[in-house]
Structure 1
Amino acid sequence: MRIVMFYHSIVSDWNHGNAHFLRGIATELLARRHEVEVFEPKNGWSYRNLVREEGERAIRRFRRAFPQLKESPYELEGLSLDRTLERADLVIVHEWNDPELVRRIGEHRRRRGNYTLLFHDTHHRSVTDAAAMAAYDLSGFDGVLAYGTPIRDIYLARGWAKRAWVWHEAADVRVFYPRSNRHKEGDVVWIGNWGDDERTDEIREFFIEPVQRLKLKAMVYGVRYPEKALRLLEGAGIRYGGWLPNFEVPRVFSRYRVTLHIPRRPYAESLPGIPTIRPFEALACGIPLISAPWEDRDRLFSAGKDLRFAGDGAETEDILQELLAHPQQAKSLAAHGLACIMEHHTCGRRVDELMAICRELGMNTVTGREWERGN
């Protein structure tokens, strides 16, 4: 099949977690002999920030890590959809796109497109900025891929889409797998961006304060850390490593004994069942994982077996002490989490789910042609 994807960026993962899953899905589709083309806006927000802060060297590192992945930069004003979508069998448009692009693609699909068209939502704006999401014209789309049950239900309940499916993120196990490293540089590593004060208190409670009280050797990687945050880390004796290319995360995990997951507040409070991609990637790397609270409504993991949940900072401290003092227990937790990923949460499994959705919509996923379109 020829699969065309419109995303914010496949090249830059600077404060852009959707690039992780996109890279894994595109790699898996290519491995299955599909033709894949990813369009991203020329000099988009994430790309600009990455080059400004890290230089062109960051782009070269991406190309060395993913030589099979090629982006097609575009400018909306000059984009010819007739040419871009020629021979397309499946088109996926991510929610971090200009509403005008979404409208134009939907109109093209209605007017002359013999392809399946899906909208992909991987953000909390359906709750935190519903007006912005309602502005997207999805009338020409076949349905929505939502990365959690609550988001799917919102699209259906509000009439934003006629059909919607849950399509969770997952680990690209070609990149995320356990690395052998007997030498540990420290006890705890946390990889995450500071963001827009969506989890400031949680970072302090579940990471900074337990590390400080236990006098652990800890490291943090991420971007958009203000001076106030850097002072907090320094005061707790936590090193800050700045931006880390996502494909280098497995190597970093191998140098530490445990990691943490701290979900952003909108997911924990308003969109239960959505962990974001970080736990999938950590468990795929075989590192013990402690998570701040979120409701696993879709039963993605087995609490206590795949990962440990901590209700507050004090419980985080207790679990850290327990896992660091009992290496075999930590090893068992990591092994169970890895087995869960390999069975249920790989990008290969998600592509299987995507193909099943396409077949439900009447597509022959071998040839890409439709058996019968019902609309």
Structure 2
Amino acid sequence: MKFVIFGLTISSSWGNGHATLWRGLVKALARRGHRVVFFERDVPYYAEHRDFWDIPGGELILYRDWDTVAPEAERQAADADVAMVTSYCPDGVAASALVLGSTAQRTVFYDLDTPVTLARLRTGERPPYLPKEGLGGFDLVLSYTGGAALEELKARLGARVVAPLYGWVDPEVHRPVAAVETYMGDLSYLGTYAADRQETLERLFIEPARRLTRRRFVIGGAQYPDSFPWTPNIYFVRHLPPAEHPAFFCSSTLTLNVTRDAMKRMGWCPSGRLFEAAACGVPIISDAWEGLDAFFEPGREILVARDTDDVTTALSLPRDHLARMARRARERTLIQHTAERRVADLRNALEAAGKKAGGM
């Protein structure tokens, strides 16, 4: 099958979670003989931090403006088995119009940011990547978020066929590796700074650091402001490319997962970082959100924290107990949460949508 995708970025992992996900998925698609053509607007902040240039068995098309690339986009979409537009595509409206007017066999919108999309719609704001007429024209709408979000996409945006396509991990990239001294710590946290994660980060990371002054805490990520409440025992590692993520995770006793506010309120929206850390065989402690237990079993495969005491208690648990928990989470991830598994999920969703639309 030929997939033509109009997305945010696959070429730069700086300050976004889309790129790492796409890299794993297109590799898994290529392994099955599929071809991916990915259109990405070439913007300065991604160009300056570009860390991916070639799609295996496919093509990356970087463009400066839509009018220039539109003829090539139309040509590529014309013979696509699947033409897809994603959330936060800078030219989402134009790309949607092109895709819906094309002769592609299947048209798909994939919202990798469903909680944000729906939260903005509830306040009367329309995200700029959404077509004005909604999503009813697409054969299939995929959502990074399950649960109640699926019905709300139908009610608010007119989506006809909706299916979840949850996050995933590439276990060839994210796997157990040797610890690196620079990243070593008792508790780590990897993520781009986000104001709506700050309250939880204060409670589950910064306050434990204040209480446990002899412990070492490590943050990796980008866009942290000067006003961030650093403590002497919190160490900062600036933006890490995906290739460094395994070493970062594997250098800590325990790693923290913090969910963005919109994702937490919606539930059923596991972060890609959650699966990455699990695939690396690192014990995970996560904030609580509805649906978490559908992906990992609390207490057996993952720890759940609601307040500071939960984190400080977790840091006192025996290492062998944490190691057993991490092994179970890794085993489950390799079975249920890989890019290969999501390719199968994608194919099933496409087939189901085809049947509902009158057959493939």
Q: TM-score, normalised by structure 2?
A: 0.89
Matched, 1:172 2:170: yes
Q: Could you tell me whether the CA contact under 8 Å between 1:116 and 1:142 is conserved in 2?
A: yes
Equivalent residue, structure 2, for 1:39: 39
2:297 maps to which of 296, 299, 302: 302
- Structure 2 unaligned residues grouped into runs of 5+: none
Equivalent residue, structure 1, for 2:219: 220
- In structure 2, what is the Cα distance between the partners aligned to 1:69 and 1:255? 35
- Structure 1 unaligned residues grouped into runs of 5+: 364-371
Coordinate RMSD, CA, aligned: 2.4
Q: Could you tell me whether the CA contact under 8 Å between 2:77 and 2:104 is conserved in 1?
A: no
Cα-to-partner distance string for 1:321-369 (whole Å, 9 max, x where unaligned):
22xxx11101101001001101111110000011111222338xxxxxx
| AA matched with 2:140 | G
User: Cα–Cα, structure 1 residues 242 and 182, in superposed 2: closer, same or farther, change >3 Å?
Assistant: closer
Equivalent residue, structure 2, for 1:285: 280
Superposition pairs for residues 306-325 of structure 1, below 5 Å?
A: 306-322=301-317
Aligned to 1:274, what secondary structure does the other structure show? coil
- In structure 2, what is the Cα distance between the partners aligned to 1:298 and 1:116? 33
User: Cα–Cα, structure 1 residues 295 and 139, in superposed 2: closer, same or farther, change >3 Å?
Assistant: closer
Equivalent residue, structure 1, for 2:243: 247
Aligned to 1:209, what secondary structure does the other structure show? helix
Cα-to-partner distance string for 1:49-90 (whole Å, 9 max, x where unaligned):
245xxx4xx43x4349x7767521132112124312132111
- In structure 2, what is the Cα distance between the partners aligned to 1:103 and 1:353? 23
| AA matched with 2:227 | K
| AA matched with 2:203 | E
User: Cα–Cα, structure 1 residues 5 and 298, in superposed 2: closer, same or farther, change >3 Å?
Assistant: farther
User: Cα–Cα, structure 1 residues 298 and 204, in superposed 2: closer, same or farther, change >3 Å?
Assistant: closer
| AA matched with 1:88 | A
Equivalent residue, structure 2, for 1:26: 26
Q: TM-score, normalised by structure 1?
A: 0.85
- In structure 2, what is the Cα distance between the partners aligned to 1:274 and 1:120? 14
Q: Could you tell me whether the CA contact under 8 Å between 2:136 and 2:157 is conserved in 1?
A: no
Aligned to 1:29, what secondary structure does the other structure show? helix
Alignment length (residue pairs): 346
Q: Could you tell me whether the CA contact under 8 Å between 2:180 and 2:247 is conserved in 1?
A: no
Equivalent residue, structure 1, for 2:97: 104
1:129 maps to which of 106, 120, 138: 120
Equivalent residue, structure 1, for 2:335: 343
- In structure 2, what is the Cα distance between the partners aligned to 1:67 and 1:220? 32
Tell me the CA shift for residue 114 of structure 1.
3.9
Q: Could you tell me whether the CA contact under 8 Å between 2:143 and 2:150 is conserved in 1?
A: yes
Tell me the CA shift for residue 28 of structure 1.
0.4
